[in-house]
Structures are given as C-alpha cells and as structure tokens.
C-alpha cells in the first residue's frame, strides 16, 4: 500500500512547482488537446519511483500505465511509463514526476552498485543509508535505497537510540549514556558510536546492542573486532562501519568483519538517472491556428 505520507508530500511538490499556474502551458497549449506520452530511460540502472511518479500524474487527472516496475534493471530506450490525458495536465506534472523518478533511480542504482561490490567480499553484509538526506525527502530516498537492495537504517530520530560523541559528553561517559538510553523502551535497540579501537570493548561491556565504528580506517576497525573477539564480546553486538564509505572503498570496509555498512553516498552523492518525457500528439488532434 502506498504510504499516505508520500501522497501528501507529492501534493506539496506539485503545489510548489505549479504556483498560481503554468503560464507557458496555459498560453501555448490548447485546452482541448488530449495526447499520449512516454517516459523513456536514457541510462542503465535500477528503476525506482514509478509508484511516486504515477501518484503525481494521477493527482492532475492523467491515466498511467507502468511498463517497468520498481527495483528492476533498465537500459537506454526502455519505456518506463505510458501516459494518456489532457496535454496541459501531463506538462504540469512532468517535472515533479521526472524529478522523483530520476533522483530515486539514481539512489537505487548507486545502492545496488555499492552492495554488489561489498557482497563480493562478504555475501551477507548489509548496506544501510544514513539520515543524511535532504529534509522532507527521506521517505523517497529511503524507499529508493530499499529498492536498490539496501537497508533504510533510521527513518527518524524516534526509530532507535543512536548515541553519538556529543551525547556521551553531555551524559558524562559511555556507560552512563548507555544506562540512560535503556530507559527509552525495552523495544528499542541501543547503538553507540565508537571512534577508537580500545573503546569497542567498553561499549559492549556497558550493554550496547550495536557498535558503530565512525570514521575509523579499515585497519582500526579490524583491530577493534579482534579486541572484541579476544574478550568474548563479539557475539553480543552487531558491528557497523560508517563514515566516508563510497564505491571506491566499500569492499575494504566489507572485509573488516563488520555486519553492517552505513553510508550517505547513495543519498548525498549519487547522480540522478537521466530520463525524458516524450509527447505523442493524440489521434485526430489539430492545434488551433
């Protein structure tokens, strides 16, 4: 079922783009023009955003037929979606729909590429997205990550406890921060950032469920994992590597022995996938002279 939140956000996107009306379309395109159109892929990648683009067109009364489904590989020339309806309506929703398709497909494609490299080294590793997403776009970015084979990690601050260095400073130490975090709810996992190998055993002994090795080198993470194994703590915790992970180094981090890789590459640095909307003039339609 489509998230109600997505519909609400797409309506706001359309309102922001349309403003008081599309003055170009309203002055140039005859109101009676009914046409068909196609959205065509211009690059290889993983498709994402079909559901969301369809919502944008449906909001303005355009009929849609999805030719490809979310999460599927596509290539240049593939028709992603066919449209039919008033030309003015198609044009007014074009940019919002294409922006969603192009951005989400770019995120899904980058997620798939990173995951493929990581799983060559460790087949069961999880690749998760961080909360480094543009405000108000987290729903779309996180769904695109999932369509690319990744994990969403936290959507919001209320999803789980994630204790960072500033939290530790303000709480008065790792153990006290974890003790306080346990009061949130029995159902919430407690994750804590670790910045030095020697801090990993301390955090595990204090009762953390997940250790996030933040901005540590692969060598430092391997050392932290060895310390946990030596002290019999490795099986108590999930281990996550986070920081400057990208396509160039993801395999090195996958080889450190962690369970999860988290990265903002997919949502902050991934290029959008190129697509275009091509209108076919409806049968029997003649522009007014």
> What residues are annotated to the active site?
95, 132, 164, 193, 214
* Pick from 68, 87, 69: nearest CA to 77: 68
Those residues with Cβ within 8 angstroms of residue 234's Cβ, 6 or more apart along the chain or in another chain: 225, 228
The radius of gyration of the chain from alpha carbons, rounded to an integer in Å, stands at 23
Task: Please state the φ and ψ torsions of residue 116, each to the nearest 5 degrees.
Answer: -60, -45
Contact between 250 and 118 (Cβ < 8 Å):
yes
Distance CA 189, CA 202 (A): 17
Strand spans (E) along 90-222: 126-129, 161-163, 190-194, 210-214
Distance CA 258, CA 160 (A): 20
């Amino acid at each position: 079922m489509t998230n109600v939140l997505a519909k609400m956000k797409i309506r706001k996107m359309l309102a922001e783009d349309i403003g008081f009306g599309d003055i170009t379309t309203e002055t140039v395109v005859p109101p009676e023009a009914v046409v068909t159109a196609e959205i065509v892929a211009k690059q290889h990648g993983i498709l994402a955003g079909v559901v969301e683009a369809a919502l944008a067109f449906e909001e303005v009364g355009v009929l849609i037929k999805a030719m490809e489904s979310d999460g599927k590989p596509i290539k240049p020339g593939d028709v992603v979606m066919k449209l039919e309806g008033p030309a003015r309506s198609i044009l007014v929703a074009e940019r919002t729909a294409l922006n969603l398709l192009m951005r989400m497909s770019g995120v899904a494609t980058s997620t798939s590429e990173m995951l493929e490299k990581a799983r060559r080294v460790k087949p069961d590793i999880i690749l998760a997205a961080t909360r480094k997403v543009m405000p108000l776009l987290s729903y779309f970015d996180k769904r695109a990550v999932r369509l690319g084979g990744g994990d969403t990690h936290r959507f919001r601050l209320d999803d789980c406890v994630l204790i960072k260095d500033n939290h530790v400073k303000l709480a008065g130490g790792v153990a006290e921060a974890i003790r306080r975090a346990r009061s949130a709810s029995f159902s919430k996992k407690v994750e804590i950032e670790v910045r030095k190998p020697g801090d990993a055993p301390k955090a595990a002994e204090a009762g953390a469920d997940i250790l996030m090795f933040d901005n540590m080198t692969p060598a430092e993470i391997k050392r932290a994992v060895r310390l946990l194994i030596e002290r019999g703590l490795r099986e108590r915790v999930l281990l996550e590597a986070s920081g400057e992970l990208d396509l160039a180094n993801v395999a090195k981090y996958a080889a450190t022995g962690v369970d999860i890789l988290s990265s903002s590459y997919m949502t902050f640095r991934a290029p959008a996938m190129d697509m275009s909307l091509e209108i076919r003039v409806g049968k029997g339609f003649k522009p007014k002279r």
